[in-house]
């Protein structure tokens, strides 16, 4: 027996958090009856429907995308803008969704999958999966400003976890700089808000690395499937905090 939201997530319908929302909204049926209890457990013999569609198990798939700027990190968009899943539609039959998100104006490494448990492990702050960004800034951060980011800086939704941050280059005449920053949280527009908090707003942002993964060999809009070994290593990293 497994919790209903976990089964929905495993089936690739949505992340576990989204699955919980669907249950609470009365959009999930088990054996023809609407279920709104998050603690409900189901077996392999139970018939589950989400939004009137019978749940079918899919093979798990895992992709690494070089997300271009100007694309939404979502499955659908009510404004009709291009989403990251649109890039896969012609070639990937599984119902995949992005692991976390990158802002509309942010480019770089984004994972997509139909494995809700994997997505949870990759995004929840308690698993401390590092994400590294390159930020082009308006202004030049002070040493004190960088130290604030390294210690954790107070934002409107709370203090951030300590970040690894360094300034890789700067131009005093143009009043601009480039910084590399590594965080393991994933709050909305977090990196942009962190640099704004020290007075150096982000002009351009790119995620270069996700844990040990990078964008080698890919151009914006291109993707590749993760190897079984890479998926295994990511799981081990989430569960133990290290890989050999």
Question: pLDDT tens digit string along 165-221?
Answer: 999 999 999 999 999 999 999 899 999 999 999 999 999 999 999 999 999 999 999
- Ranking 16-25, 65-74, 149-158, 216-225 by mean pLDDT, the lowest is 16-25
Residue 10, pLDDT score: 73
CATH architecture observed for domain 130-210? 2-Layer Sandwich (3.30)
Residue 105, pLDDT score: 96
Hey, which residues are catalytic here? 103
Average pLDDT in the chain:
94
Q: Which residue has the higher pLDDT, 88 or 8?
A: 88
Across the strands, what pairs with 110? 65
- Alpha helix locations (H) across 135-206? 143-151, 190-197
Does 2-54 match 130-210 in CATH topology? no
Backbone angles phi, psi at 16, to 5 degrees: -65, -40
Report helix, strand or coil for 149: helix
pLDDT higher than threshold 80 for residue 7: yes
* Model confidence band, residue 156 (pLDDT cutoffs 50, 70, 90): very high
Q: Which CATH class is domain 62-126+218-240?
A: alpha beta
**What is the residue extent of each domain of the chain?**
2-54, 62-126+218-240, 130-210
With beta carbons less than 8 A apart as the criterion, state whether 210 and 129 touch: yes
Distance in angstroms (rounded) separating the CA atoms of residues 183 and 190 = 9
Q: Model-level pTM greater than 0.85?
A: no
Residue 45, pLDDT score: 86
- Ranking 28-32, 95-99, 137-141, 177-181 by mean pLDDT, the lowest is 95-99
Tell me which CATH code domain 2-54 carries: 3.10.290.10
Distance in angstroms (rounded) separating the CA atoms of residues 173 and 78 = 43
Residue 242, pLDDT score: 87
Give Rg (Cα) of the chain. 20
Distance in angstroms (rounded) separating the CA atoms of residues 124 and 131 = 12
């Amino acid at each position: 027996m497994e919790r209903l939201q976990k089964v929905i997530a495993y089936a690739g319908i949505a992340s576990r958090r989204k699955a919980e929302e669907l249950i609470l909204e009365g959009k999930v049926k088990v054996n023809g009856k609407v279920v709104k209890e998050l603690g409900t457990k189901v077996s392999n013999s139970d018939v589950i429907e989400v939004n009137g569609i019978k749940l079918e198990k899919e093979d798990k798939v895992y992709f690494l995308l070089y997300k271009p700027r100007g694309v939404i990190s979502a499955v659908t968009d009510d404004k009709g803008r291009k989403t990251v899943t649109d890039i896969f539609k012609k070639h990937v039959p599984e119902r995949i969704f992005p692991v976390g998100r990158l802002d509309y104006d942010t480019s770089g490494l984004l994972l997509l999958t139909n494995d809700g448990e994997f997505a949870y492990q990759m995004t929840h702050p308690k698993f401390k999966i590092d994400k590294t960004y390159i930020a082009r800034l308006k202004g030049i951060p002070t040493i004190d400003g960088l130290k604030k980011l390294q210690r954790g800086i107070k934002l409107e939704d709370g203090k951030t976890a300590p970040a690894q941050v360094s300034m890789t280059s700067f131009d005093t005449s143009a009043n601009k700089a480039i910084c590399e920053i590594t965080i393991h949280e994933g709050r909305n527009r977090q990196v942009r808000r962190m640099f704004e908090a020290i007075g150096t707003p982000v002009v351009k942002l790119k995620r270069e690395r996700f844990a040990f993964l990078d964008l080698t060999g890919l151009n914006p809009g291109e993707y590749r499937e993760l190897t079984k070994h890479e998926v295994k290593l990511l799981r081990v990293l989430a569960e133990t905090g290290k890989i050999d």
